[in-house]
Every structure is written in C-alpha cells, then in structure tokens.
Structure 1
Amino acid sequence: MAEMTVLGTLLLIGHSLPVEGVVAKRAGVPWWITLSLRVAGALVLAAIIHQVYSVFGWGQEMATISWRPEAASDQWQVWMLAQGKTLLAILAVITALMLLLELIKRLGLEGVLHWLLAPLLTTLGIGRAATNVTVIGATLGLSYGAGLLIRDLDRGVMSIRDSFLVPCFLGLCHSVIEDTLLILLLDADLWAILGARLIFAVGVIALLARTPFIQHLEQTKTSH
C-alpha cells in the first residue's frame, strides 16, 4: 500500500505535463518553471511520504486493487460512445459547479465563500479575485481553472501576481475529486494523496509568493 501511495503521489503531481504546461504558459507561467515546480515537487513529496511510511512502518500490507479494466473493444463505434459519455459527464460536472458558483453569487453568498477561503488565499498570497478560479481548478483540474484564469486576464480582472501563483498552485494540487478517486482505486492512502498533497502545495506556494522573484515579476510586467 505504501508503494502505491508513493506512486500515486508522483502521478497526481507529475502527470499531463505537456498539455498542462501549455495551459500554464498561456496564463503567464514559463515552461521551465512549470516543469521544475511539478517534477521537483512530485519527487520531493513522494520521497517525504516514502520516508515517513518507512520510519513508522505504515502501509506495509499488500495493496488491494479495486479497479479491474474491462477488455477493450476493437470497434471504433464503442470507443466513440464511451468517449462521448465521458465528455458528457465532465460537461455535467462543470456546468453544475458553474451554476453553483453563480447561485452563490446571486444569493449574495459570494462574500461568505471569500471569507471561508480568505485564510487559505492569504497564506498563498492570492487575491480575492482569484477565488472562483482557484476553487474550480482545484476541484476540476488545471485546464479548466487556467481557462477561466485566462478569461479573467483578458477582462482585466486578474492581477499579474495571481496569474502566476494560481497556475503554480493548481500544478501541485488540482482535480482533487476525480484524480484522487482514481488513485484511491489503486489502494493508495487518502490522507497522503489528498491531505499531504494539499499541505505541501500550500507550503510551497506560500514560500514562492514571498520570494523577491514575485516582486520582480510584477515590476517587470508592469513596466511593459
């Protein structure tokens, strides 16, 4: 089980780098930063989890795989139907979350959401304007969150600081529902792949937000 937890941690942070790297670059995060942050982050967190589990003797039992893949069909119609169902399911989840956020806004509860997330966002050095983007990206994935971030950037809603820190945070901790459930099927430890990943991401971005690099980035882009 410990090995599956370590492997799951590596996959959760270090997957889909080409696609999500392009998305982050469009939002303003250079390729080398995305690759360095996510590859190094995956290796460091996986190493920490491995050491903790080894020292305390946790997760030494055999993993029980809950997911058994079905035999793939060689008919393209079956594949197209399966992909269509997956896309519809993703669309339904995105629509539901967007409607929920809009309902919260119309009911005047957006301030409550901001208040609840204020301690986390303050720790991350991220402004209130990025609340919705951060929530959607963390729950649904970097691609969706960064897509909304790019929209807000084009509208002038998002600050230069947020446009850099949000994709960095989402690179380390995104899609906490779908990806976490998938890795859980491999019998990984929930507290490690979700709790440790969240704490690690918050810690790394909190440190990054307080480095001179961020101030230099803001000054450079403002001058241009």
Structure 2
Amino acid sequence: MLHRLGIACREVLGDSYKVITTLFRIMIPAILVVKVLTELGAAMLLGQLFAPVMGWMGLPPEAGLIWASAMLTNIYTGLVIFFSTAGTEGWSVAQVTVLATLLLSAHNLPVEVRVAQKAGCRILPQLLLRIGGGILLGILLHHSYRLSDSLQSVNTLPWTPAPVDDGWLAWGLSQLETLGWTAVMIVALMTALKLLRWLGIERLLEWMLRPLLKLIGIAPGALSITLIGMTLGLAYGGGLLIREAERGDIHPADIFCAISLLGLCHSLIEDTLLVMLIGADLSGIFWARMVFALAMIALISRLLPRLRQDRLVRSVSKP
C-alpha cells in the first residue's frame, strides 16, 4: 500500500512539475511584455480603438479603456480603471452588468491566449471568439435589459479599492506571489484529479453529464479538466489540457472545443465574485454568460466538421 502511494505521489509531483514549468514559460515572458506595453500606453490606444464599439452595448466611450486595460492585464486592473474614471458612479446596474460581462469574456489575453496556443489552438480564432463573443453577449444583454426595462436604476457601488502601489518593486512582488500560488494550485489540482480517477468519481461524472457533453461537443476525457477550468480559471484548466494534448489523449478538435468553452466561461467562482464588487447582476455575469458559452460551443462543435480544422487547431502530441 505504501509502495503504491509512493508511486502515486511521484506521478503527481512529476506531472505537476511539467505543467508548472510549461505555464511559467508562457506566463513570465507574457507578464513582462504586457508590463512594458502598459507603461508605453498600449491600453490607451486599445481603449480608443474600442470606444466606438461601446455604444452598441449602451456604454459610454470611456468603457473602452476599462475593457482594454483588463484585456492586457486582468480584471482587477479593469476595476481600478473603472473606479478612477469620472462619471461611472452614475451608471445604471444594466450598464455595469454589461461592462462586467465584457471584463469576464476577455481579460489577461496575452497569457490566456498563449496557454490556448500551447494546447494547440490557433491564436486568431481564440482572440475573435473571446472579443467577438464578449461584444455579442454585451449587445444581447443591453437590448434584453432595455426592452424588459430591467436593471435601469442607478448603480450603487458596494466597494471601493484601496490605492495600489504601481511601482516596479510592488508589481514584481505581486507577480511572484501570483506565480507561487499558481504552483501550489497546480499540485493541489493534480492530486485532486488523481483521487477522482482512483475513486471512480471522474467516470461517474462523465456518465451523469454525457447528454450535456454530447450536446456541446466536449469529449468525456476532457470533462474533469474542463470543469476545473470553468470553476477555477483558464490557466489551471488550460495547463492541464496542455498536458493531455501533448500526450495525445484528447483529439485536437475536442481540445479546441474545451479551450473555447473555457475562454468564454471560466473562473465562475472567483471572477464572478470579483465583478459583483462593482454592483454587476448575476443574471448577466453568471447565468447569461454560462448559457451563452454552452450555446456557442454547441454551435462550434457542429460547424467544426465543415471547417478547415488546421486553421483552428493543431496537434501538439509528442511521440
């Protein structure tokens, strides 16, 4: 028994090391490049590009800068820009909810799209899906709230962030902390996956969710990893999918569907709670986002056989 436990621990640590090193090779260069671009004003330029599009979703032009900042960095940065932008205290709950869905749909793109690429997905389709999907969902939410006269009251901000030191030292320490917690989470997730498989819970979940998996086109073998990504984040689920893709355990088309689903709907717990701090409503940031993501992936999985898959995804399996 102890011998088998020792073997299992070595397997978990070995797999964790491979996933962690793969993710760090992606994250560290991307984090550095994004910091330099942000210092050079890339967020301002991107915000100006998206400013005209904001009107389609009932948002003022300054929302473009908020979304652009989150795209390049993370949701928290987008929220800081939101609080520092004049006039946002007069936004309606509907407007805040639409903005929050944009932040959830496309943020931290340099890192998350690079993770998707490492799993075999092409960059351009993933960018179009994340940004285009966010805009489409924002338009649908805006008109549904407007036509139903829902969430039109002035938003009350339940929270205001503390001032953040944006110096290089504070930024570097923050990134080191993020990388450290990422490593800890990967080891915990690899251990949990091993237990799920050993206890037979993974097979039970696959059996229970088989009708839904068939509907949206996610392979049963990718179920547990996809669920991890949806609940905890794309970096974690994507990192584990990279491992499966390199092993050749999951077909590239299934990898594309799983990564695309995670792109549109991931970190349902943490990120949802985060944007609720600006008053966003669950109808948009949780329910609409999840239904929209499942519907989009169901459509994509049916269109995939008719498309040139080599333009969307490639095999990264290693012999």
TM-score band, normalised by shorter chain: 0.7 to 0.9
Out of 154, 159, 165, the position equivalent to 2:257 is 165
Asked if 1:4 corresponds to 2:96, the answer is yes
Is there any run of 5+ residues in structure 1 with no aligned partner, and where? none
Out of 133, 136, 157, the position equivalent to 1:65 is 157
Distance 2:119 2:175 in 1: 28
Query: Relative to structure 1, is the Cα distance of residues 91 and 186 closer, same or farther in structure 2, using a 3 angstrom cutoff?
Result: farther
Larger mean CA deviation between 74-83 and 168-177 belongs to 74-83
Q: Which residue of 1 aligns with 2:266?
A: 174
Q: Which residue of 1 aligns with 2:83?
A: none
Q: Tell me by how many angstroms 1:71 deviates.
A: 2.7
Asked if 1:114 corresponds to 2:114, the answer is no
Q: Which residue of 2 aligns with 1:208?
A: 300
Residue type of the alignment partner of 1:176: L
TM-score, normalising length: structure 1: 0.86
SS in 1 for 2:209: helix
Contact persistence 2:216–2:294 (CA under 8 A):
yes
Query: Relative to structure 1, is the Cα distance of residues 161 and 193 closer, same or farther in structure 2, using a 3 angstrom cutoff?
Result: same
Q: Which residue of 1 aligns with 2:146?
A: 54
SS in 2 for 1:46: helix
Distance 1:221 1:24 in 2: 11
Greater relative CO, 1 or 2 (CA 8 Å, sep 6+): 1
Q: Which residue of 1 aligns with 2:116?
A: 24
Query: Relative to structure 1, is the Cα distance of residues 90 and 148 closer, same or farther in structure 2, using a 3 angstrom cutoff?
Result: closer
Contact persistence 2:120–2:314 (CA under 8 A):
no
Contact persistence 1:114–1:128 (CA under 8 A):
yes
Q: Which residue of 1 aligns with 2:309?
A: 217
Asked if 1:198 corresponds to 2:198, the answer is no
SS in 2 for 1:211: helix
Larger mean CA deviation between 25-34 and 83-92 belongs to 83-92
TM-score, normalising length: structure 2: 0.62
Query: Relative to structure 1, is the Cα distance of residues 58 and 85 closer, same or farther in structure 2, using a 3 angstrom cutoff?
Result: same
Larger mean CA deviation between 62-71 and 86-95 belongs to 86-95
CA deviation vs aligned residue, 1:27-73 (integer Å, no higher than 9, x gap): 22212101111111001101111111111111122222233212335
Query: Relative to structure 1, is the Cα distance of residues 50 and 19 closer, same or farther in structure 2, using a 3 angstrom cutoff?
Result: same
Query: Relative to structure 1, is the Cα distance of residues 36 and 53 closer, same or farther in structure 2, using a 3 angstrom cutoff?
Result: same
Distance 2:314 2:170 in 1: 49
Distance 2:187 2:307 in 1: 36
Q: Which residue of 2 aligns with 1:183?
A: 275
Q: Tell me by how many angstroms 1:100 deviates.
A: 3.3
CA deviation vs aligned residue, 1:191-216 (integer Å, no higher than 9, x gap): 21111111111111111111155664
RMSD: 2.6
Q: Which residue of 1 aligns with 2:221?
A: 129
Q: Tell me by how many angstroms 1:99 deviates.
A: 3.4
Query: Relative to structure 1, is the Cα distance of residues 55 and 120 closer, same or farther in structure 2, using a 3 angstrom cutoff?
Result: same
Query: Relative to structure 1, is the Cα distance of residues 90 and 189 closer, same or farther in structure 2, using a 3 angstrom cutoff?
Result: farther
Is there any run of 5+ residues in structure 2 with no aligned partner, and where? 1-92
